[in-house]
A and B are shown apart, each in its own frame.
Chain A
Amino acid sequence: MSGALPVYRREMLSLWVTPLAWVLLVVFLFIQGLSFYSIVVHVSGMSAASIDTGPVQAYFGQSIFLLVSLLLVCPALTMRVFAEERRSGTIEALLTAPVTPAGVVTGKYLATLTTYFAMWLPTLLYILILRNTGQIDWRVVGSSYLGVFGVGAGYLAVGTLMSAMTKSQLTAFVLTVLVQFGLFILGIGEYVFDAGLLRDISSHVSVLSQMDEMSKGVVDLRRLVFDGSLVGLPLFVTVRVVDSWRWG
């Protein structure tokens, strides 16, 4: 893990002194705001709401906006981490310092993860707004955020891997979107396939089902294990990829 901390700090600086993080933050919050606004308008028109159909559940569990914003934000956050370093040649200076590939990958990944967390922070305001008009179950809020962090963490790990596979940021972006979209489509299979192995697999990897469950306060360990492997496996492969450049 040698070098993870300085690499993390440099990545954070680089993300936030360039316009990228701020542009993404604006786009992300605009989409989230739109989503939240439409949900609030919708819910306020309803005469009665059950415990499972409140605005928090709708916001985290039922809204397609959430997936759209993740489809955009995650690949954009990770696309440059390795691709840009290899294109500009700075990777040579980085990897000839006394650092390990695992340290570099960890530092870079954690920086994108922190930035992703930071983007979600302002949405806590929505919860505070809701609290003024009704009751909030903080456990549900907690499991909902756990859900978006879990999903995002996996997407960011996939994005980090894709960025290490190409020198082009655009290619890295498109590849990550493709993988995310593929996982989403696989999840849709839950509603397409007949009962059986395929449907089981589909429901296991379904982001929609995961967010639906977690927005209702259901924390299924299998979901977290899946998210965890979607972080661990791509990052492990990324370390191998970085190591393999020596033989390129």
Chain B
Amino acid sequence: MIEVEHLTKDYGTVVAVRDVSFSVGKGEVVGFLGPNGAGKSTTMRILVGFLGASSGRVRIAGHDIADESIEARRAIGYMPESAPLYLEMRVREYLGFRAAVKKVPRGERKAAVDRAMSLAVVTEMADTLIGHLSKGYRQRVGLADALVANPPLLILDEPTAGLDPNQIREVRKLIRSLGENHTILLSTHILSEVETTCDRAIVIDRGRLVAEGSIGELRARQKAEGAALLVVGDEKRAKELAASIAGVRRVVAKRADDASAVRLVIGYEKDTEDGARILESVVRALVLEGLGVREATPTRATLEDVFAELTRAEETAALDPGEEEDA
């Protein structure tokens, strides 16, 4: 649905997007992830034909966005960041205008507008001036606008930015349900959003693609960092035993809620591949010594940590010009 090859965008000396290539298949819901200022919006604006690329190619539904711009744009429902709207229009008027601009045949416009309004849950505000709507409703009108011509591809730039937690949950739910019939590319700087709504994520930082893969694959980058154990018995002995296992870097004992037990927090050595085996050995050693183990929970890096690591690795690579490899 989207094919991006070696996309670069520079503004004079400032390079906003640097040699980015990725593709999004039909029916996928893909999160476009990166910190603020990473080049997400610039990339999306190039994808929808609002900005021209300095070099590289973008194909949308088989059409080149530069050479067959109109055909490519007809396949896209785009919601720009913060959904700018004409405040002097009523919701129904605005969506009717958008349907006309997107070449929905005259006879089908009313039905298309009604359908988009009910999908985006703004029907009750149909005759309200957009200027009188709250931020959450405006965002949903923007979403209805993206949906009105029933395009196969939705490109949503920060669809949940500026919303309150309830609204965020509703919009995510909506995106998930839209994902059944549409290909969706949505940008965000919030990882949990990708976790809850997307099948796959593309991570960019400073205009470069730093990682791409399914949520599972990204999670696999989350190495086990350590474990938390709830142990019944002698604290000192337990600490010694845990520390004696190969691969364990440090052991900290903490007071547990239950006075009879002690909480051991274990940290593995850096870049340990086989955290599960180490934890197994620790538990076995403790049990063989007659200590009770009530809980053993591996602590994983969150996606946030993976994200931070990916973007940090990029930083060090940038400092060292000899190493241009992506993390």
Q: Which of A's residues lie within 8 Å of B, judged by CB?
A: 2-3, 5-7, 9-10, 13-14, 17-18, 88-90, 92-100, 246-248
Contacts and interface: CB of A to CB of B under 8 A. Distances in A.
Interface in B16-73: 45, 48-52, 70-71, 73
Contact of A96 (B48, B82, B85, B103): B48
By secondary structure, the A interface counts as: helix
Contacts of A248: 51
Interface string B63-93: 0000000110110101010101111110001
Contacts of B78: 93, 96
Nearest to B66: A246
A89 B80 CA distance: 9
Contacts of A246: 49-52
Contacts of B93: 13
Which of A5, A6, A92, A93 gathers the greatest number of chain B CB atoms within 10 Å? A93
B97 interface: yes
A56 B253 CA distance: 100
A5 B87 CA distance: 20
Given A14-B86, A89-B80, A93-B84, A6 B70 contact: no
B98 interface: yes
Nearest to A103: B101
Contacts of B71: 98
Given A246-B51, A246-B52, 5 more contacts: A6-B97, A6-B100, A89-B84, A90-B86, A92-B45
A10 B7 CA distance: 35
A101 to B, nearest CB: 11
Nearest to B84: A89
A7 B84 CA distance: 16
Nearest to A97: B101
9 contacts: A5-B100, A9-B97, A14-B89, A89-B80, A89-B82, A92-B80, A96-B49, A98-B74, A99-B101
B70 A100 contact: yes
Nearest to A95: B50
Contacts of B314: none
A86 to B, nearest CB: 10
Nearest to B155: A96
Contacts of B80: 89, 92-93, 96
B205 interface: no
**Which 9 residue pairs are nearest across A and B when measured between Cβ atoms?**
A89-B84, A6-B100, A246-B52, A92-B80, A97-B101, A98-B73, A96-B48, A90-B84, A98-B74
Contacts of A18: 88
B86 A6 contact: no
Interface residues of B, number: 29
Given A13-B93, A92-B50, A246-B52, A98 B102 contact: yes
B158 interface: no
Given A6-B101, A9-B97, A13-B89, A96 B73 contact: yes
A247 B97 CA distance: 27
Which of A6, A17, A97, A248 gathers the greatest number of chain B CB atoms within 10 Å? A97
Nearest to A89: B84
Contacts of A17: 88-89
Contacts of B50: 92, 95-96, 246
B211 to A, nearest CB: 28
B293 to A, nearest CB: 58
Which of B49, B50, B71, B82 gathers the greatest number of chain A CB atoms within 10 Å? B50
A3 B101 contact: yes
A246 B87 CA distance: 25
A10 B86 contact: yes
B42 to A, nearest CB: 12
Given A92-B80, A246-B52, A97 B102 contact: yes
A18 B87 CA distance: 10
Which of B45, B51, B74 gathers the greatest number of chain A CB atoms within 10 Å? B51
B10 to A, nearest CB: 11
A99 B101 CA distance: 7
Given A10-B86, A18-B88, A89-B84, A98 B70 contact: yes
A247 B42 CA distance: 12
Given A9-B97, A89-B82, A246-B52, A98 B88 contact: no
Contacts of A3: 101
A18 B129 CA distance: 12
Contacts of B85: 90, 93
B41 to A, nearest CB: 10
A14 B102 contact: no
Contacts of A96: 48-50, 73, 76, 78, 80
Contacts of A99: 101
Nearest to A18: B88
A5 B142 CA distance: 22
Contact of B101 (A7, A14, A88, A92): A7
A20 B45 CA distance: 32
